[in-house]
Structure 1
Amino acid sequence: MAIERLRVLRELADRGTVAAVAAALSMTPSAVSQQLKVLAREAGVALLEPDGRRVRLTDAGRALVVRADEVLAAMDKAAAEMASYRGSPRGEVRVALFPSGAALLLPRVLAELAGSGVEMVARDEDVPAVEVPRLLADYDVVLTHRDERAASIGGPRVASRVLMREPIDVVVGPNHRLAGHGAVVPAELADETWLSVRGGFPVDDVLRSIATVTGVQPRIAQRLNDFTVIEALVASGYGIALMPRHAVRHPDVVMLRLAGVRAARLYDLATRPHAEKRPAVATVLAAFQAAARRATGPDDQQR
């Protein structure tokens, strides 16, 4: 089986449509379809089946995608090993980060990489953790976040490593009735107006946990994914919010520890399996680990 045809199959698994694969690989849709037909003949089994006006992978196709990941990872490793004979790790590593994680870690990561010969190209991608496999079609490393009680996103086609834990606190305005408290329990928050994020993100998961404990459905006035906007509204008295501890910047909000509920998010670094065998990717992963150690304190690791 030709490696390039295996790459086309993997792209179809990642992107979902022949048209999307054609756009990603600078091919025509008919050329993509032809490559997939040839690969099916080489495999001796059907790899695709009709799905309405589109196609989807058969069980055999999905199994072959997993092997394609392994073959392509081995090719990347071989290229990286040859590069290592030419000196220190070099090359470009594409990284996707969620915005608040980028604000905390990206300056530190870039400082770690200075002089390494590795060029990190960063882009912000604000999606729930379940969408990370889709991002790995375009990125070598994805920094994502999830509620600490949520399952890992790791699987046959995704390698996931926990990078750090960040507590999630309650933030209130300076004149709020709870502003003088160091900590609060869910029962004290049952009648509050909330400013939250869109569903599927860790902060919303914690808010739903508060609702479960209190038996009161939270009254959410606004859903915004920009923590800078959320804390500005909190400071102005338009509601209270849950925010990751290191995302709080506004001088006029008051942070309160949330007691009685597990309230934290985990940062995960996701790659394709075996991607760390590329020296450049391994260097970036190590830079993230060093940055996380410097960014967190002992309280962050308490569970």
Structure 2
Amino acid sequence: MGVGEWDLRRLRVLRAVDECGTVTAAAERLRLSPSAVSQQVSALARQVGAPMLEPYGRRVRLTPAARLVLRHADLIFGQLERAEAELAGYLHGEAGEVRVGAFATAIGGLLVPAVVRLRDAAPGLTVRVVEAEAAEAVRLLAAGDVDLALSLAVGPGGVDPRFVGTVLLEDPLDVALPPGHPLAGVPGLRLADLAEEPWIYGAAGPWREITRAACAEAGFAPERAHTAADWTAILAMVAAGLGVALVPRLASAGRGGGAVVRALPADLPARRVVAVVRAGTERTPPLRRVLAELAAVAATVQVE
């Protein structure tokens, strides 16, 4: 008998006959007629090539061949029950695996708290974290190497039909100044006041574009004196008097060191942290659950 010919209904009937002891009792449990039960058992016997039942007083019992079949059937039924339980968890967003690509500050400020919440609420759901720069996270998503990317939005821009994005957070941009800078203590500091300063920002990617866009909005093009992408390095360079930099509040909180970090309430520059998934996957239960937890964490983040 080929594997493809196994019929789970016949195996369930055989198990019921074994447990009930008679065809009639098995029929009552299964809500079938006794003749239907007999037909199912006979069909199984023909497939196997050996009888399944033998008389035993007023009852029937399984033959050795039937015992062998049922032993394997019980393993199959157990595996199917586990599959049903796991599928139910998946459909409720409580099981499965979600791979998330995210830049460093999003990992610390958003993703780790969301994973901690999920570990308690949905222990069967596994989140695997891949650190990547904001632009690289989207490339990993496009390649199928991650299921969700935490990235940065430069501006309204066009819509890429490959992706569905959700804005999680508007992260204000502050300016980091060297200690003792003439403008460090000036009230009402504007971004335009720093137009002639040497600037520190990355060579490529969303953060360079965000810095340039914010300065352009203020009416000038920043002169890049030094290139860096790591916030610890940028703040250390600012503290050493090498230049000024825009820093997101999520990244600078508690990490200013010797640099003076000032808000820009008159300009209100900000970066948007977005969660991006491939179009068509946004309704996948595990992804929906992770997105919901990220949104819940983002709602509690204090960036004001």
**Residue in structure 1 matching 2:133, options 126, 129, 140:** 126
Q: Distance in 1 between matches of 2:300 and 2:192?
A: 35
Question: Does 2:163 correspond to 1:158?
Answer: yes
Question: Does 2:192 correspond to 1:192?
Answer: no
- Amino acid across the alignment from 2:190: V
Q: Distance in 2 between matches of 1:265 and 1:139?
A: 23
- Amino acid across the alignment from 2:269: A
Q: Which residue of 2 is the match for residue 167 of structure 1?
A: 172
Q: Contact (CA 8 Å) 1:198, 1:204: kept in 2 or not?
A: no
Q: Which residue of 1 is the match for residue 300 of structure 2?
A: 294
- Amino acid across the alignment from 1:243: V
Q: Which residue of 1 is the match for residue 245 of structure 2?
A: 241
Q: Contact (CA 8 Å) 2:169, 2:273: kept in 1 or not?
A: yes
Q: Which deviates further from its counterpart, 201-210 or 92-101? A: 201-210
Question: Does 2:282 correspond to 1:276?
Answer: yes
SS in 2 for 1:225: coil
Q: Distance in 2 between matches of 1:282 and 1:197?
A: 33
Q: CA deviation at 1:294?
A: 1.7
**Residue in structure 1 matching 2:210, options 205, 224, 241:** 205
Q: Distance in 1 between matches of 2:170 and 2:84?
A: 32
SS in 1 for 2:196: coil
SS in 1 for 2:101: strand
Q: CA deviation at 1:101?
A: 1.4
Question: Does 2:229 correspond to 1:225?
Answer: yes
Quick one: structure 1 residues 181 and 86, their matched pair in 2 at CA, closer, same or farther if it must change by over 3 Å?
closer
SS in 2 for 1:109: helix
Query: Over the residues paired in the alignment, what is the CA RMSD in angstroms?
Result: 2.7
Q: Distance in 1 between matches of 2:273 and 2:163?
A: 15
Q: CA deviation at 1:271?
A: 0.7
Q: Which has the higher contact order (CA 8 A, sep 6+)?
A: 1
Larger Rg: 1 or 2?
A: 2
- Amino acid across the alignment from 2:232: T
Q: Distance in 2 between matches of 1:283 and 1:95?
A: 13
Percentage of matched positions with identical amino acids: 29
Q: Contact (CA 8 Å) 1:207, 1:242: kept in 2 or not?
A: no
SS in 1 for 2:138: helix
SS in 2 for 1:150: coil
- Please list every run of 5 or more consecutive structure 2 residues that lacks an aligned counterpart in the other structure: 1-82
Q: CA deviation at 1:143?
A: 0.6
Q: Contact (CA 8 Å) 1:92, 1:118: kept in 2 or not?
A: yes
Q: How does 1:44-123 map to 2 (within 5 A)?
A: 83-84=87-88, 89-115=94-120, 116=122, 117-123=124-130
Quick one: structure 1 residues 210 and 295, their matched pair in 2 at CA, closer, same or farther if it must change by over 3 Å?
same
- Amino acid across the alignment from 2:270: A
Q: TM-score, normalised by structure 1?
A: 0.63
- Please list every run of 5 or more consecutive structure 1 residues that lacks an aligned counterpart in the other structure: 1-78
